[in-house]
Structure 1
Amino acid sequence: MKYVLKLFVIFILLVIDSGYSQDKSLQMPLSFIAQNLEYKGVAVQDDNYTIWGCAPIQDQDGKTHLFVARWQEKNVNPAWRKSSEIAHYVSDSPEGPFVFSDIALKGTGKDTWDKYAPHNPEIKKVGKQYVLLYIANTDYHQPPHGGNQRIGMAIAKSPYGPWKKVGKDGMVLNADNPIKWNYKSNMGVANPTFMKVNGRYYLYFKTKTTEGILKYGLAIAKKLKGPYTIQDKPVTSNKGTLEDGTVFTYQDYIYLLTTDNHGQNTGIVGGGTLWKSKDGLTFNLEDATIGYDLLSTYYREYDPQKVVKIYGPDPKLERPKILMINNKPAYLYAPSGWNIYGGQRTVGHVLKINMDP
């Protein structure tokens, strides 16, 4: 009996260590994305850089461009808030291989709101212009970070740049309005994702409520360069922490894809939540589905003995971004804090979304 009990305890510890501790009672249905994901491999890898956040877009010639947060240190935290830069990679195929092209943005190193670490890249095309959103900070130490995180915007006529920051310094959103629900959030504003809706510009962002809950908010502008006005309440009705948003439209709905770090929304610790809305102003949990499972679900050769755990408690996908092709979600790009191949650096992964015709 003691032997059986010992084996059971070892099994539970292995399950927890492998990132498979889930609450099945909370699990919601699989989304059309989660049902159709096929792991295709590494999109971005560089032995000299830690890779994080891979925002995709295609140009008129069919090339796929990734805007990637990266830094030279091997650690993720605190390097991401100190040393991140946004690099531009290019491929002839959405599945890669992606080749480094140029640096889109670096910290100014001066007394500006974006002195350190441009991060959380988001890339969209509006008319003939490419729009790059990002976060940065004045001081990477904690505190004041992350309450000093702000969102910036830069515009270019080509994905190769040159990138021109909008307004006087590029900043388009902060958490400094005393009448707003996220005033002086110790998270600031982060994880921007962006789209044009009925002639107006919707800028979604992660922030913290006065009750200390991480939710997604929305700021709206009549003009691309702003000013952006934060709406009166959060747009998501999440139960637990939200991270890493990306927004897209499909079949007359607006979808917001976020990570579910603690599994309190989907039941999958480290999985993804796919939120669904008609107007993009409210995303209700009862309408949400599982956006994706852990990386180990899709990589068939996953070996927990081979994995190198660089950052985070689970083999999860981080910073999900969707590439739309012919008005359909076609590919999911995301890094992971665990290197499933045994390398010492994080890499960016690409998964195909095999939608029916």
Structure 2
Amino acid sequence: MTPFFNAVPPVSVFAKRLKPIGRILELEGYYVWCNSPIFDAAGRVHIFFSRWRSEKRMSGWINGSEIAHAIADTPEGPYTVTGTILEPRGPGFWDATTCHNPSITRFNNKYYLYYMGNSNGKTNTKRIGLAIAHSLNGPWQRLDHPILEPGPEGAWDDHCTTNPSVLRHANGQYGLYYKSWNTRDYQTQTGPVRGNRKYGLAFSRAPEGPFKKYEGNPIIDFSARGHNAQLEDAFVWEAQGVYRIIARDMGYYNHTDGIIMESKNGIRWQAPKTAYYPVSHYIQQPPPPSYLTKYGRFERPQLLLKNGKPVYLFTTTQGGIYNSSSPFIFKIDPA
């Protein structure tokens, strides 16, 4: 991918279609993160989201997150929380200490909830796993082992596997997009952001795997741009033969916007355009408490699709009435 050195980032049509709605799912006593929405057959909206107790502050995602479920009659709510779907299973399990990054989708009349877990409360045991159900209301059958492991020592993805996004490709195989980085880079770099996050792809003939990594990985690598440019939180979808990916920028242009890219095959991607702007572009907020160090930016972009087309953008941002974090949604005007 050729770096795009424009001083002003190009703006996507997607960004121009966004209409800010506001916060949802503000839960007293919790940080809420990683909200993944889907319609059911009756047109109701189900959200699978990460949450952890407020006393853990922001770092609780890595050593105490659980995945919960909420339902609403419309995308804008109000939402009713039904309870916890997946929680850390404790010593001896690969997801012993956290369950995070939910990504819900439907294949072959079943629901597949891809997620990240870890076993030691740290990043180096982050692995992608899966729970399966016949109904969005469960029960959920959790696989006992991760579905994608890191690469060998020294590989670009030897540190972890995380941030799953899965879709069926044109060739009939299931593509699992994942984020990772190299452990040595992570250990030797200094500064506020260590490691260089890249994206890989793995294919399988079944949505539960086994997945085989694409030989040309990583498929998205911004490191040649310099200044440790990278990305995270990617969501991938396909419509009318065009693959698109929306993610959080981490230095390609800045650290506050979202980016969007297009591809004809889901492997080779065009240069990014702006997908969304910082919080201040849409609403005014009071000054943050000192412990909210990610205040003012939207993270974990996920799309609510209807007949394959995005109708709402779900993000997460710090702040809100409880000074923690909660989802913030946008309506997407028709093209």
TM-score, normalised to structure 1, is: 0.83
**Greater Rg over alpha carbons, structure:** 1
The aligned residue for residue 329 of structure 2 is: 350
Q: Hey, what's the Cα distance between the residues in 2 that align with 1:89 and 1:37?
A: 24
Out of 226, 235, 250, which is 2:219 matched to? Answer: 235
Out of 200, 203, 206, which is 1:220 matched to? Answer: 203
The aligned residue for residue 191 of structure 2 is: none
Q: Hey, what's the Cα distance between the residues in 2 that align with 1:196 and 1:27?
A: 34
Q: Hey, what's the Cα distance between the residues in 2 that align with 1:309 and 1:217?
A: 35
SS of the equivalent of 1:259 reads strand
Q: Hey, what's the Cα distance between the residues in 2 that align with 1:176 and 1:113?
A: 17
The aligned residue for residue 181 of structure 1 is: 155
Does the Cα contact within 8 Å between 2:127 and 2:162 map onto a contact in 1?
yes
Greater mean alpha carbon deviation, residues 79-88 or residues 41-50: 41-50
1:298 aligns with 2:294: no
Does the Cα contact within 8 Å between 1:194 and 1:202 map onto a contact in 2?
yes
The offset of 1:183, in angstroms, is 4.8
Deviations 1:126-182 (Å, cap 9, x if unpaired)? Answer: 121010011111101xxxx2111100011101111111123xx1410110445x833
Does the Cα contact within 8 Å between 1:310 and 1:346 map onto a contact in 2?
no
The aligned residue for residue 324 of structure 1 is: 305
The offset of 1:324, in angstroms, is 0.9
Out of 269, 274, 285, which is 2:260 matched to? Answer: 274
The aligned residue for residue 240 of structure 2 is: 251
Shift in CA distance, 347/279, structure 1 to aligned 2, threshold 3 Å = same
The offset of 1:203, in angstroms, is 0.5
Does the Cα contact within 8 Å between 2:33 and 2:51 map onto a contact in 1?
yes
Shift in CA distance, 342/268, structure 1 to aligned 2, threshold 3 Å = farther
Does the Cα contact within 8 Å between 1:122 and 1:134 map onto a contact in 2?
yes
Shift in CA distance, 37/309, structure 1 to aligned 2, threshold 3 Å = farther
SS of the equivalent of 2:281 reads helix
Counterpart AA for 2:324: R
The aligned residue for residue 192 of structure 2 is: none
SS of the equivalent of 1:125 reads strand
Q: Hey, what's the Cα distance between the residues in 1 that align with 2:149 and 2:99?
A: 15
Does the Cα contact within 8 Å between 2:181 and 2:198 map onto a contact in 1?
yes
Shift in CA distance, 62/315, structure 1 to aligned 2, threshold 3 Å = same
Structure 1 residues 114-133: aligned runs within 5 Å? 114-133=95-114
The offset of 1:309, in angstroms, is 5.6
Counterpart AA for 1:235: I
Q: Hey, what's the Cα distance between the residues in 2 that align with 1:234 and 1:297?
A: 33
Q: Hey, what's the Cα distance between the residues in 2 that align with 1:76 and 1:284?
A: 37
The aligned residue for residue 88 of structure 1 is: 69
The offset of 1:191, in angstroms, is 0.8
Q: Which runs of 5+ in 1 are unaligned?
A: 1-23
Does the Cα contact within 8 Å between 1:308 and 1:342 map onto a contact in 2?
no
Deviations 1:77-100 (Å, cap 9, x if unpaired)? Answer: 431111100000100001111110
Counterpart AA for 1:112: F
The aligned residue for residue 133 of structure 2 is: 156
Q: Hey, what's the Cα distance between the residues in 2 that align with 1:183 and 1:247?
A: 19
The offset of 1:75, in angstroms, is 4.3
Does the Cα contact within 8 Å between 1:86 and 1:119 map onto a contact in 2?
yes
Does the Cα contact within 8 Å between 1:268 and 1:293 map onto a contact in 2?
no
The offset of 1:122, in angstroms, is 0.4
Greater mean alpha carbon deviation, residues 66-75 or residues 91-100: 66-75
Shift in CA distance, 311/283, structure 1 to aligned 2, threshold 3 Å = farther
Counterpart AA for 2:174: Y
The offset of 1:38, in angstroms, is 1.0
TM-score, normalised to structure 2, is: 0.88
The aligned residue for residue 173 of structure 2 is: 200
SS of the equivalent of 1:147 reads helix
SS of the equivalent of 1:242 reads strand
The offset of 1:284, in angstroms, is 3.5
The aligned residue for residue 13 of structure 1 is: none
Q: Hey, what's the Cα distance between the residues in 2 that align with 1:332 and 1:98?
A: 16
Q: Which runs of 5+ in 2 are unaligned?
A: 186-194
